[in-house]
Amino acid sequence: MFFKKQYLCILIIAYFLSGFASKSFAQQDEYYYELIDEIYDEMTDYRQERPYDHKMWERKGKYQQKINEIGFRLLNTNRFPRRVNFRLISVTLYNMEAYNAYARYADGRVAVYSGLLYYIDNDDELAAVMAHELGHIQQLNTGFWLWKRIKMHFAPRYYEYDADLKGVDYMVKAGYNPIAMITFLNKICSEKSAYHKLSLFMTELGYLFLLPFNTHPTGSKRLLNVYNHIQTHYPSFLAGEEDNLYYINFLLNSEKNDDIKEIKDKYDITVPYKQENL
């Protein structure tokens, strides 16, 4: 009888506890429902004040879309022999957006750093960047890739020149103005001092040229190489560019080249835009 009373007491206590718990859970659920309703009301008010932006993807993706548009135009018009994809990437260096572009033959990728877009004024200049990188992919696409890669490692500047000229050819075939290769390079290519070039040479000499540090040509040599290629193969593009700010700056800083001197004299390029103190 004792055990039966004990069991009865336990059942009664459990019943009251379950009722209290269910009441407390019900109150808690009610609180959550009220909180959700408040959040929903706030979201509704926010949406009424600022409607959903259905074209957000267009605004955010317009740069990638532009890169794809120009990239595939270059590929198609030049009958490029392999599949390539184009990517816009963001890289930060020293708390600033880095500006660069590179090509990867291994997976057929051309990447453009978002910081580079600040230096581009039009489709022609963006095409110049991408055409140059496609030139690098084409360099490895012909011949035995391993031997070509070794040569590119030991003579990187030659292949930079070659990619510039291939890029000019790709641009013209795709309907872009090749002068943009000059105007864009003139904005980003710095000119190394004699001391800096000597220090790089000595560093490379210390490593027996197994690890090249000076992989890109100097600005003047690179620009003149592009200019001479355009003058030889596409001279019609040189006419009518005497008002381009960056092109004029290139001409003014190319005194030692006879071809440049000739065109400067032809257009009487001395002080552009009446800047007397240039």
DSSP string, 235-252: GGGGTT-TT-HHHHHHHH
**Residue 70, φ and ψ in degrees, nearest 5:** -70, -40
Residue 36 lies in a domain: no
Residue 269 lies in a domain: yes
Q: State residue 76's pLDDT score.
A: 96
Percent of the chain with pLDDT over 70: 62
Yes or no: say if 182 and 223 are a contact pair by the CB < 8 Å rule: yes
Q: State residue 127's pLDDT score.
A: 97
- pTM of the model as a whole: 0.69
- Residue bearing tokens 């003149």: 224
**Residue 100, φ and ψ in degrees, nearest 5:** -170, 175
112: containing domain: 56-274
Q: Is residue 139 predicted with pLDDT exceeding 90? A: no
Residue range 35-87, pLDDT digits in tens:
556 655 655 555 555 555 666 666 667 889 999 999 999 999 999 988 999 99
Q: State residue 122's pLDDT score.
A: 93
Residue 45 lies in a domain: no
Q: State residue 277's pLDDT score.
A: 43
Contacts of 138 (CB under 8 A, 6+ apart): 80, 81, 166
Q: What is the mean pLDDT of residues 87-96?
A: 77
Q: State residue 263's pLDDT score.
A: 73
Residue 51 lies in a domain: no
CA distances from 3 to 6, 10, 18, 66, 188 (A): 5, 11, 22, 84, 93
Residue 204 lies in a domain: yes
Residue 225 lies in a domain: yes
Residue 238 lies in a domain: yes
3-class secondary structure, 111: strand
Confidence of residue 23 (pLDDT cuts 50, 70, 90): very low
Q: Specify the amino acid at residue 107.
A: D
CA distances from 97 to 66, 117, 121, 122 (A): 19, 10, 18, 20
Residue 131 lies in a domain: yes
Residue range 219-268, pLDDT digits in tens:
788 899 999 999 999 999 987 776 788 988 888 888 677 777 777 776 66
Strand segments (E) across the chain: 85-89, 92-93, 96-97, 101-104, 109-113
- Residue bearing tokens 């991408």: 130
Structure tokens at 139: 């360099």
Yes or no: say if 159 and 132 are a contact pair by the CB < 8 Å rule: no
**How many domains is the chain built from?**
1
CA distances from 94 to 91, 97, 98, 221 (A): 10, 8, 9, 29
More confident call, 17 vs 250: 250
Yes or no: say if 227 and 233 are a contact pair by the CB < 8 Å rule: no
